[in-house]
Chain A
């Protein structure tokens, strides 16, 4: 035993969520604040649905995109009622499953969207709790094996602070104004978030089949979650103690298994959509629309103004350059972060929400919910204050400059564009900075690095 103080081992290793003892009690203890949080969140949303603000919010371009706008879903339903294929026009771009879902629940749309938010929050809550348990177990082993250098002790997480992290995650999601706006606008982004959250939950629980199915649903909804495939496989392999080694058969066998389940369910979904509508019209209308960005309605992303001002003969080139950004970082990030698949999921979500073609604030809310998970590393963040101020200022300036441009006519498009640009600069730093702090963390946690060993020996 090195110079580790005794209280550390005594206090910190007693993690209350240990299933062997007091599981029942814990459930009751934790369920109360969560329920309270859910009730509060639902109340806020219900109140906003009833207010006159709901209509205003539903029109906001920051909150709804041409894909996720509720108005367009209703339009799709109206077209279906008229006997016109919803995909014959360029108004409706949601997937066939969504339109059939709302064909039945259109009268309960508000409840559906609140439910989606609740599902997302609960799934994230459970997932993070499970993840924390594992982190804590790992930390315990490391402590017992005496692998932590003394100067890193302050990074060791105490059960007390970890205890509230799942609740914080749920709170960050449910009470985030971005999520609330998105829900009140009935943006279908909330449903996508729920699917992604369920995917994360089932992955962390280690259920390979459900993970593949939910990932496939998320991909089906908006292509981009495709990149979450890599972290999911990494995590599941880590959990099943399959080494990430290209020369091992077990590695390839697992990959094949997962991809088979993923592609199989994707195939089923696509065929199901085909049989629901009887045509392949939806493929260009949904996926072609996402990839080729024909609709230049302003949003908080980088695409709209860039492609409005693009020279026609360069359009395809820059389209590829911009779209590749989402997929491009997957492999290097997976290599770099293969020990931290959950963090990789977070990174991928952030990259998607920044570089996707029609981003909304709902996408940002999803990855922001993960911030509390790594809260113990905040000290390594740089410019936190500046970045949060910029994000906050931009969020308030969006409606102001929109009003000046569209309604007052005293500003032009450049004003709004400038704000989106600033917003994205602030966001672009986010994954990078988060990763930075995680890398530092991984450095402190890397047990067998020779450098670390020597350092330890030298110090003590």
Chain B
């Protein structure tokens, strides 16, 4: 309990910084100038850097800096976790953006985000019936099931952190759903069950397979991302379906939730034949309440639809390393969504400040800088609401042509992997490896494992070792499984020493199930959902204390809060575990044979219980027997002895 209490400030901090990173990602936010003067400091620094870069590149073109703000986490903490627009604005608002990041492996990472914000209140009994930008189906779900926050993601493929770095929005393979309910909900489990069935219909997914056997209530790993500081995890439900296969039928309903559908704006690019011909595909919907202003008197609902794709152009690029919007999506852009208040494309050019790695065309003069995942990134910005973005051909086809293949990526500071050890179908051991690549700083991580009941975990075999030494977790929350009712839940707070591998092992026993409980392909194995590792990772920017950037000396002694650490969630691989199987072809035989044995047992006992023993008379000889028969026939009573 004490550990739990200690965690709380840490969590508040995680929460704040996570919301910071999200907000930093969304570029439209502006801050009331009187709120904190220190904010001005950063764009200024950024501007200086930009000037410097421009100067160095010999003034190729004059670059403009977008009014981006990198916000101070401390100031953030004072205000509400999610501070948003000043009041004068339309009742609802829609923004869309696409971020493209060329990855060092030669792949391309494209991340779409569509954000609908609506000043309304689904709760408090008022019936909301007039919908404009916000999808009605989701609005009704929110009000009917008293949802406070809803996060759902469908992912095909596994994000390779070591090759690709951290994703903007992490998600585990398969489907993941986590929901915070309002504290007015009395029967959370029933509501959850109903909600999953409704969502299953909305997204054409097998979410109806979510039941109590794969639902858990994490105590620390999943905190609300929106406003509200309810941390009673009785109102939280988390479930994953690692087996879920994501395809077109999930994309179509997802696109229908967009105000413009796939008719205009960035959504035009979302053609399934290309999207699913990729190494990684993940689509998600996040709903949360956010503040309308910094005083947070009223709340709005934010719907964020995200779609992340990694294209493997290296293989399909016919030998040439170049990509364009047309090549990736087989479409070009011609207009922004008319309903969108902002529609932008960001290209990550941090590794390419002078264009030595790749060439970007058409060139843009608009630049933006943001703190993303602990790193200061620079982006080229294309504003689709501006007509001149489309040029004379009235269509935008971004093109990146690679010049050199070298260039190294900064290793992600935190990454994890997991596997099953052991042989045979009786027992096994789950190994989770967590890597801290930070050269000198240790940091705590929260590990969440949800293991189905048919792998019976033995918590007394849990070991956590780093650098060959026992590393005792400071907080363990363990909920053992109940057969056919609920899964195991294991949450641990582990301190990862600098530059180390921490190995968590736990033994399990494989259960034999009833023959009807197996999947149609039982010998394929059973999936175990990804472990979730959540952490505040010291940022890479703060790593170089001997700062090479031009900064005043007085500003660089203490690590700046906004740069010191950032929130990361890492998902490990799902596991595929084989279970012993009965012979599915012979239920009748087994029933017959076993019943026979029981009947034999019963029969032999019954026989002996009812039988009475008699002393057998010595059998008379043949002559006597004949004589007896004759006597009987002649009418003499009795027999001769």
Q: Which of B456, B593, B641 contacts A421 (CB 8 A)?
A: B593
Asked if residues A428 and B483 are in contact (CB atoms below 8 Å), the reply is no
- Knowing A75-B459, A84-B479, the reply to whether A413 touches B591 (Cβ < 8 A) is no
- Knowing A298-B512, A308-B512, A428-B597, the reply to whether A90 touches B480 (Cβ < 8 A) is yes
Among A95-103, A250-258, A430-438, the one that faces the other chain is A430-438
B460: which A residues are within 8 A, CB to CB?
Answer: 74-75, 77-78
From 541 to 600 in chain B, residues with beta carbon under 8 angstroms from any chain A beta carbon are 580-583, 586-587, 590-591, 593-594, 597-598, 600
Asked if residues B512 and A296 are in contact (CB atoms below 8 Å), the reply is yes
- Knowing A71-B458, A308-B514, A412-B583, the reply to whether A440 touches B424 (Cβ < 8 A) is no
What 7 additional pairs, Cβ within 8 angstroms, besides A310-B514, A405-B425, A407-B425? A74-B460, A84-B479, A294-B483, A309-B586, A309-B587, A432-B608, A436-B608
From 338 to 367 in chain B, residues with beta carbon under 8 angstroms from any chain A beta carbon are none
A208 touches B (CB below 8 Å):
no
From 405 to 425 in chain A, residues with beta carbon under 8 angstroms from any chain B beta carbon are 405-407, 412-414, 417, 421, 424-425
The 9 closest A-B pairs by CB, nearest first: A89-B480, A432-B604, A78-B460, A428-B601, A309-B587, A309-B590, A407-B424, A306-B594, A90-B483
**Can you identify 20 A-B contacts, CB atoms within 8 angstroms?**
A59-B427, A82-B476, A84-B479, A90-B456, A296-B511, A304-B512, A305-B590, A306-B594, A309-B582, A309-B586, A309-B587, A312-B516, A322-B598, A325-B598, A413-B582, A425-B597, A432-B604, A435-B608, A440-B613, A458-B641
Asked if residues B608 and A406 are in contact (CB atoms below 8 Å), the reply is no
Q: Mark A198-229, 1 if CB is under 8 A from B, else 0.
A: 00000000000000000000000000000000
A452: which B residues are within 8 A, CB to CB?
Answer: 615
A90: which B residues are within 8 A, CB to CB?
Answer: 453, 456, 480-483
B602 touches A (CB below 8 Å):
yes
A443 touches B (CB below 8 Å):
yes
Interface size on A, residues (CB 8 A): 62
Asked if residues B601 and A311 are in contact (CB atoms below 8 Å), the reply is no
Interchain CA distance A89-B509 in the complex, whole Å: 14
Asked if residues A306 and B591 are in contact (CB atoms below 8 Å), the reply is yes
A interface: dominant SS: helix
A429: which B residues are within 8 A, CB to CB?
Answer: 604
Interchain CA distance A426-B515 in the complex, whole Å: 27
> Distance (Å) between the CB of B387 and the closest chain A CB?
64
A329 touches B (CB below 8 Å):
yes
From 333 to 359 in chain A, residues with beta carbon under 8 angstroms from any chain B beta carbon are 333, 336, 351, 354-355
Q: Which of A84, A332, A443 contacts B480 (CB 8 A)?
A: A84
Interchain CA distance A310-B584 in the complex, whole Å: 11
Interchain CA distance A425-B484 in the complex, whole Å: 32
Q: Mark A349-387, 1 if CB is under 8 A from B, else 0.
A: 001001100000000000000000000000000000000
Q: Mark A392-411, 1 if CB is under 8 A from B, else 0.
A: 00000000000001110000
A407: which B residues are within 8 A, CB to CB?
Answer: 423-426
A294: which B residues are within 8 A, CB to CB?
Answer: 483-484
A134 touches B (CB below 8 Å):
no
A439 touches B (CB below 8 Å):
yes
Please give me the residue from chain B that is nearest to A412 by CB atom.
B583
- Knowing A82-B478, A333-B609, A455-B615, the reply to whether A354 touches B601 (Cβ < 8 A) is yes
Asked if residues B594 and A421 are in contact (CB atoms below 8 Å), the reply is yes
Asked if residues A305 and B602 are in contact (CB atoms below 8 Å), the reply is no
> Distance (Å) between the CB of B231 and the closest chain A CB?
20
A38 touches B (CB below 8 Å):
no
Interchain CA distance A407-B483 in the complex, whole Å: 25
For chain B, give the interface size range.
35 or more
A297 touches B (CB below 8 Å):
yes
From 457 to 484 in chain B, residues with beta carbon under 8 angstroms from any chain A beta carbon are 457-460, 476, 478-484
A310: which B residues are within 8 A, CB to CB?
Answer: 514, 587, 591
B513 touches A (CB below 8 Å):
yes
- Knowing A59-B427, A295-B483, A325-B602, the reply to whether A306 touches B613 (Cβ < 8 A) is no
Please give me the residue from chain A that is nearest to B462 by CB atom.
A78
Asked if residues A406 and B426 are in contact (CB atoms below 8 Å), the reply is yes
Interchain CA distance A90-B485 in the complex, whole Å: 10
B614 touches A (CB below 8 Å):
yes
Interchain CA distance A78-B607 in the complex, whole Å: 50
Asked if residues B601 and A295 are in contact (CB atoms below 8 Å), the reply is no
B605 touches A (CB below 8 Å):
yes
Q: Which of B483, B581, B590, B611 contacts A306 (CB 8 A)?
A: B590
Q: Which of A312, A329, A421 contacts B605 (CB 8 A)?
A: A329
A279 touches B (CB below 8 Å):
no
A332: which B residues are within 8 A, CB to CB?
Answer: 605, 609
From 498 to 534 in chain B, residues with beta carbon under 8 angstroms from any chain A beta carbon are 509, 511-516
A156 touches B (CB below 8 Å):
no
A295: which B residues are within 8 A, CB to CB?
Answer: 483, 511
Interchain CA distance A406-B426 in the complex, whole Å: 7
A412: which B residues are within 8 A, CB to CB?
Answer: 581, 583
Interchain CA distance A414-B587 in the complex, whole Å: 11
A27 touches B (CB below 8 Å):
no
Q: Mark A89-113, 1 if CB is under 8 A from B, else 0.
A: 1110000000000000000000000
> Distance (Å) between the CB of B527 and the closest chain A CB?
21
Please give me the residue from chain A that is nearest to B604 by CB atom.
A432
> Distance (Å) between the CB of B497 and the closest chain A CB?
24
Q: Which of B423, B456, B593, B604 contacts A428 (CB 8 A)?
A: B604
- Knowing A332-B609, A451-B614, the reply to whether A305 touches B482 (Cβ < 8 A) is no
B586: which A residues are within 8 A, CB to CB?
Answer: 309, 414
A43 touches B (CB below 8 Å):
no
A291 touches B (CB below 8 Å):
no
B456: which A residues are within 8 A, CB to CB?
Answer: 90-91
Interchain CA distance A308-B587 in the complex, whole Å: 9
Interchain CA distance A10-B55 in the complex, whole Å: 127
Asked if residues A88 and B479 are in contact (CB atoms below 8 Å), the reply is yes
